[in-house]
Amino acid sequence: MTGFRLADRVKETSTTTGTGTLTLAGAVTGFQSFNSGIGDGASTTFVIEDSTNWEVTVGKYTHSGTTLSRDTLIASSTGSAISWGAGTRNVFISEPSTAVLQGTVVKTASYTALASDSVILCNPGAAMTVTLPSAASATLGIRFLVKKIDSSAYVVTISDGASADVDHASSSKLYLEGDSIELVCAYNGSGYEWLALSRRLAPHSAKMENSAAQSVGDSAWRILAFNTVVYEHGADADAGNERIQVKRAGRYNIFGSLTLDLSMDANVWLAIAVISDTSTPDGDDVLAYNLQHIGTGAYGDYLGTVSTSVDLAADDYVYLLCYHDEGGMMSPSTLNTYTRQYTRFSIAEVI
């Protein structure tokens, strides 16, 4: 049997000396053995005590030889692994206080988590990394809750101390105040990994507007301009480069609109484009559009909107584009938005 297990009323004795693996001597009267309680190959948290010294440890039970390894020290009466002398001591399964979220620390800079930590509260003064112990048999079953508790834009990155994944990725990130993730070291069938038990993430969103008229040339895809960032939460609204950058992979609702002043009939496309680098987007990058044929009319004769829901990757750039063919009928050609009606562009993550 593999994996991490707890069981009730498991207690044996041992006379093993030193700091290494224990050899168990059999169940105490009225209790069950480790083999009966958790089975061969399972890991657990257990206490070793002799009425004077004590140690809380994570280890693996092996039925051949009836041994119990001492892989990860959680706590002890001396602060380190105890080198046991001659004598008999009790060994029993116990869920430590850290497993029920009692070991709380507050950190303001990069930090390497200890096995005795359970809740790591992050109040970063700069971008910081919380490095977890390496995911391995020695840490099987250990849990951590990591939470960002400040309103800064500094990102908290959670990574493994070796090469194992953190919830199926190389790392996990917390962007906004209140974001948290609870992770447990587990065996995924081929190796050890930190897996998420729960996530509480605020949705990323951003919105830009333009209150000024802008001329949009004809017969090509044109990037619409923005002069105001209304808000940005996680996602990065960049009015100078007329785009919104996604910081976390996920599904997003995207919306754009503008008001057009046309001097003659025209076909008008309003489109959402996504690109993964800083090159200029074009028609090949369009993933959603709205096409209308617009007739001659008074000011504000066309209010164009476009929307879509799409999966985006971290660091994707999203643009609002416009294309029209009025120039094919009338020259010179301009296509203008009104100052009284804004161009609007927003994204919102679906959590």
Name residues of the chain where pLDDT drops below 70.
1-3, 96-103, 163-164, 262-264, 294-302, 326-342
**Would you state the pLDDT for residue 300?**
46
The model's pLDDT over 239-250, given as tens digits with 9 standing for 90+, comes to 989 999 999 999
End-to-end CA gap in the chain: 36
What per-residue confidence (pLDDT) applies to 342? 64
Check: CB of residue 321 under 8 Å from CB of residue 255.
no
- Report the amino acid identity of residue 115: A
The predicted structure's pLDDT at residue 73: 86
Q: Do domains 98-200 and 205-350 have the same CATH topology?
A: yes
Distance between CA atoms of residues 16 and 52, nearest Å: 16
What number does CATH give the domain 205-350? 2.60.120.40
Cβ(223)–Cβ(321) under 8 Å?
A: yes
Q: Is there a contact between 263 and 330 (Cβ–Cβ < 8 Å)?
A: yes
Residue extents of the structural domains in the chain: 11-95, 98-200, 205-350
Q: What was the pLDDT predicted at 260?
A: 72
pLDDT of residue 333: 40
Class of domain 98-200: mainly beta
The whole-number pLDDT of residue 262 equals: 66
Give me the helices (H) in the chain, please.
34-37
Q: Which residues contact 108 (CB under 8 A, 6 or more apart)?
A: 122, 123, 124, 125, 128
- pLDDT for res 1: 53
> Which residues, at least 6 apart from 337, have a Cβ–Cβ distance to it below 8 Å?
210, 213, 214, 258, 259, 260, 261, 343
Residue 86 confidence (pLDDT): 95
96-110 pLDDT, tens digit per residue, is: 655 544 568 889 999
pLDDT at residue 271, as a whole number = 92
Dist. CA 318–CA 279, nearest whole Å: 12
Residue (of 272, 293, 236, 275) closest to 344 by Cα position? 272
pTM higher than 0.85, yes or no? no
